[in-house]
Structure formats: C-alpha cells, structure tokens
Amino acid sequence: MKRSHAIVLCLCVVFCVLSGVMVFRDAGAVQNTPPATAPAHINQEELTLEQGGVKIVPQTVNTETDKLANWNSSDAKVAIVDDGGRIDALKQGKTTVTASYPNGETYTCEVTVSPASKEEEVDTTSTAIIANQDVLKKNVENYAAGVSKLRPYRLHVNRSQNCVTAYTYGDDEKYTVPVRAMVCSCGLNQSTITGLYSIGFHSDWYPLAGDVVGQYASAIVDDFMFHSVPYETYAKDSLEAEEFNKLGQEASKGCIRMAVSDVKWINDNCEIGTAVFLFDNDASPGPLGKPEPIRIADTTIKWDPTDDATDNPYNGKKPQINGAQSLTITAGDAYDMKRGVTATDTCGNDITAKMEVIGNVKPNVPGNYRVSYRISDALHRTASSDIIVTVEPAKTTEAK
C-alpha cells in the first residue's frame, strides 16, 4: 500500500469512529466509508438474548430502508428473525442474523442465546410484592428447628401510605430485610394508632363495628387489628365490594383492612407475639414500594378476588387480550399495531394502557412480521397473544 493511501485510510477510520458510523460489520465488499446513498444497516455487531427473549435489531433509519431484500438467521433452531428485524430466541446457542440488500451488500449481527434466568417469584393470589425469599426461608427453618430464637417476621404499617411491609432479619440480627409489601386501608382521619405493639391473637372470622364481620383478624392492641374488608355476614360471598375498592386509601374506623390473601398470610405466618410497628412516612411506602391494588369491576360479585376458596368465581381467571388477530394489509396502507386490541385484568378492568406490544411492522415494505401482545395485572397474572402481519405488494395498474 502506498504511504499516501495509508494516510487517507487512517484518517477515514478515525473519522468513522468519532462519528459513530462504524458500529456495524460489513460482510460484503470492503469499503472505507459507505457512500451517502448506502442502504440502512444493522448497527449492532453482537447481541445476547435469554432463551424466550425477543429483540428488535437496532437499525440505522434512512430513506433507503425500503431497499432491504431480506433477513436471515443462520440457525433457525437457535433464533428466528422476521422481515422487520425482530429476533425471537428459541434455544441456547449462537446464530448469525443477516440483513441482505439487492446490491449484494450484507450486514450481520452475531446473536448468542443464553439460558433463561429464573423467573421472579410472585404470588398470583395476591397483589403483594415479595423479595429476599432465600433469607426468609433460612430464618424460618432456623426458628422451627430451635437454632434461632428470633421470630422470622416483624410487621411495619406505614399509616400515611396505607402500606404494610413484612421484614425478616439479616446477619446482624436486625429486622432490615424486606420480604413482603402489601396494600392496606388504615383509619379515616388518621384514626389508626401509631407505636410498637405485638400480635395478640388470630381468628378466622371476627365481628366488627357496624354489624359486619371480617376474615382472618389478627389483634394488635385494644380494638385495633388486621382484618379483611368487611362482610355483611359470615359468608365469603357477602363482601362489601365497594369497600374493597378503597384498598390503598384511608377507609376504616381504625383497623388495618387488607385483601383476604394478605391477612390470611399474616394469620398463617406471623405468630402471636410478632412485633407490629405503626408509623407515618409520607416520603416512601417502604423499600419494596406499594403494590397496585386490584379493583372489582362488577360490584354485584361480592367475593374478594384474592380469596383462595374453591368456589370463588375469580379462581382460574386471568387477564384477557382481545382483538389480536393475524391479518394481511397492502403495502402503503395505514397500520397501527395497537388499533382494535384491548386488555382487561382478572376482574374485568380495562388495562389496555399497560399492554406491551413487541414488533416492527413496516407497512410500506412487503413481508411477514411477528407482533406480540403481553399484559400483567395487579395479581401478577399474565396473558399474551402473538399474531402475524403480512404486508403484500401494492397492485400495479397496467396502462391500456
């Protein structure tokens, strides 16, 4: 190579690096710099996805995008790619995703599919947020075996935030490890007490003021206790549904109301003598945050949706995605991936705004595109739906 050519080449490389152009690997003809009319290209050389994961390959967008000929995966058993550059990771391994262009140029992205990570543990009968279950399990086992005299739990009630957080202890034997956050309703006008107390007794049903009853009561002090939202009678299908829909805000006469699954959890896990600390903290509900409450859409159904009773009509229910259907459009037609697709939660509430849509449909470019709709509701129950959008070439009108 002549010295003058070498100098020019070095200057081109420096310019490309500084301008961010060289973030792709050209698998076709060698070029120092792409011409101004170069087609769009993959702008990521390597990508790692977990098995089951989905990713839209980053691409440079310009007026030449429509000239893309096709996408290809070298090993479709590892991952597949659609005409919009959406990669679906199928199993562990490596594959090369290639974007090809009519002029023979190709741009590639090396894809590595790693094992799927362990799914986050959730409670699908409760809106509770749970964490640090490994620490908790060890503490529970040590307490049951007599290795430790420390009770596994301590309950903190943030009165101003209407949130209960359960803690366990760490290596320093201090109750600073949060394990469960639960939404609640404390007393109107701050009528719930504050201070440090302990659980005095448990009861599956307990009469409440106002000629109503509550499930899974756990006494704190005097007439203050944890219990469910009121029921009209000692029957699980007599819930005051309108009161249930107030969870997360002040609503009681002083007790701490909670969803059935959460007060049952306290009843089952927090033995008599477990410390309860009630306080105000306007700045934060707690280290795990405050769970989103579930709402009863049809208040004529007088069941707590978190109750695990076998005859609960909410048992087996889950979110629904409606209107997601594969379809064919003509290139140039207007298309919105969310149009006509809605989502409802376990209780029938509209949660379309929370729906995740994954896809990269190019309505001007003929091809097949995968689109996924996913939703998770306040009970951590999920739903998904996958469709194929086919874009057909526009029909040309022959001159007579």
Q: Which residue in the block uniquely carries the two structure tokens 């007579």?
A: 400
- In CATH, 3-114 is 3.40.50.1970: no
CATH number assigned to the domain covering 129-279 = 2.40.440.10
CATH 2.40.440.10 spans which residues of the chain? 129-279
Say how far apart CA 261 and CA 126 lie, in whole Å. Answer: 6
Give ranges for CATH 2.60.40.1080 in the chain: 3-114
Pairing label, strands 25-26, 46-50: unpaired
50: helix, strand or coil = strand
Q: How far apart are the first and last CA of the chain?
A: 59
List Cβ<8 Å contacts ≥24 apart for 70-79: 70/99, 70/100, 71/97, 71/98, 71/99, 71/100, 72/97, 72/98, 72/100, 73/97, 73/98, 73/111, 74/98, 78/111, 78/113, 79/49, 79/111, 79/113
Which residue spans of the chain are classified as CATH 2.60.40.10? Answer: 320-392
Question: What are the tokens at 262?
Answer: 């959460």
Q: Going residue by residue through the chain (400 aa), what tens digit of pLDDT does each one get?
A: 444 444 333 434 333 333 333 333 333 333 333 333 444 567 678 999 999 999 998 776 544 555 677 899 999 999 999 999 999 999 999 999 998 877 778 888 999 999 999 877 788 999 999 999 999 999 999 999 999 999 999 999 999 999 999 999 999 999 999 999 999 999 999 999 999 999 999 999 999 999 999 999 999 999 999 999 999 999 999 999 999 999 999 999 999 999 999 999 999 999 999 999 999 999 999 999 999 999 999 999 999 999 999 999 999 999 999 999 999 999 999 999 999 999 999 999 999 999 999 999 999 889 999 999 999 999 999 999 999 999 999 887 655 5
d(CA 274, CA 9): 74
CA-to-CA distance for 224 and 205, rounded, in angstroms? 15
CA atoms within 13 A on the CB side of 198: 8
Q: What is 320-392's CATH number, 3.90.400.10, 2.60.40.10, 3.40.50.360, 3.40.50.720?
A: 2.60.40.10
- pTM equals 0.83
**Kindly report the CA angle at 345 between 342 and 347, in degrees rounded to 5?**
130
Contact 383, 374 (CB under 8 A): yes
Amino acid present at 251: A
Rg (CA), the chain: 29
Q: Given phi > 0 = left and psi -120 to 50 = alpha, else beta, which region is 56?
A: beta
